[in-house]
Amino acid sequence: MPDVLTDTLEFGEGPAFDPEGDLWCTEVDGGRLVHRTAAGLRQHPTDGSPSAIVFDEEGRALVCDGDQNAVRRFDPETLDWETVVGTRAGEPLRAPNDLVFGPSGSLVFTCPGGSRYEPIGYVCCLRPDGTLTTIGEGLYFPNGLAFDADGDELIVAETVSHRLWKGTWDSEHFEWTDREIWCEIGGPVGPDGMAFGADGRLYVAVFGSGEIRVIGPDGTIEERIDVPGRDPTNVAFDPAGTLGMVVTEAAEGLLLSYPGRGPGTTVFTSSSDGWV
């Protein structure tokens, strides 16, 4: 069984490690970022509904905020917030949900707002020069996403359809090409956040299942890891190896550590100074 780091989260999401190796996550319903420190959990209000986090090279958090329909940036030193991007083609973003840095300084994120019953979800790429492009659309609730270790392929979860899409990543032109269904992962709700392990397998939180499903290189489910709660939301790996695989779970408010799992692959990062 995993170690329970806390059971007090209000719909925990988006575990991530900052450049100093500290663990963070979000509370979607609580509207907070949560920083795990030696003294305990430190909470930072967001005035929104945060879901996922990544950290740039300067240690600032890039946060998807579904309530504010924006990707925002938080500086833990100054406690200042600013909007990185909030519109696409003149319209508000559709509730950004998950995000990941890619090779060559790109930031890729999913926008599933309003797409549970019609395929209007999309995936965006924010280039290093601040240009925003749509790299995938026509999806039913695009959710978690991950680059493989080399940054050559991008995997995106389509929650409502219970499947994972895989495509080639062009890091020169910032394009996701040759997209195809890679894995029919199942439900009952569907795939949420994910992370690649150093073993080359993809660890996927399947909401509603009480499981992390481990996908092999050929797109087959090779293993199922039990979670003490039915609604795992996301996965991250401790780069120091101490906590192993970290999982957030929404129904019971859990932040979990699987010390024997991991390590993960190298996580891409970048500076975000040029965006705002």
Structure confidence at residue 265 (pLDDT): 85
Mean of pLDDT over the chain:
95
> How far is Cα 112 from Cα 83, in angstroms, rounded to an integer?
19
Q: Using the predicted structure, report yes or no on whether residue 276 has a pLDDT greater than 80.
A: no
Dihedral in degrees, nearest 10, Cα atoms 48, 49, 52, 58: 10
For the chain, what are the domain ranges? 3-258
Is 26 in contact with 33 (CB distance < 8 Å)? yes
pLDDT in tens, 208-267: 999 999 999 999 999 999 999 999 999 999 999 999 999 999 999 999 999 999 888 878
Q: Using the predicted structure, report yes or no on whether residue 207 has a pLDDT greater than 70.
A: yes
Mean pLDDT score, 47-66: 96
Q: Using the predicted structure, report yes or no on whether residue 205 has a pLDDT greater than 90.
A: yes
Structure confidence at residue 75 (pLDDT): 97
Other C-beta atoms lying within 10 Å of the C-beta of residue 149: 14
Which residues contact residue 268 at a Cβ distance below 8 angstroms, ignoring those fewer than 6 apart?
Answer: 100, 101, 102, 103, 147, 151
pTM above 0.85, yes or no: yes
Q: Using the predicted structure, report yes or no on whether residue 56 has a pLDDT greater than 90.
A: yes
To the nearest 5 percent, what fractions of the chain are helix, strand and coil?
0, 55, 45
Mean pLDDT score, 80-95: 96
Q: Which CATH architecture has domain 3-258?
A: 6 Propeller (2.120)
Tell me phi and psi for residue 44, to 5 degrees.
Answer: -125, 115
Other C-beta atoms lying within 10 Å of the C-beta of residue 12: 31
pLDDT in tens, 255-267: 999 999 988 887 8
Tell me phi and psi for residue 48, to 5 degrees.
Answer: -160, -150
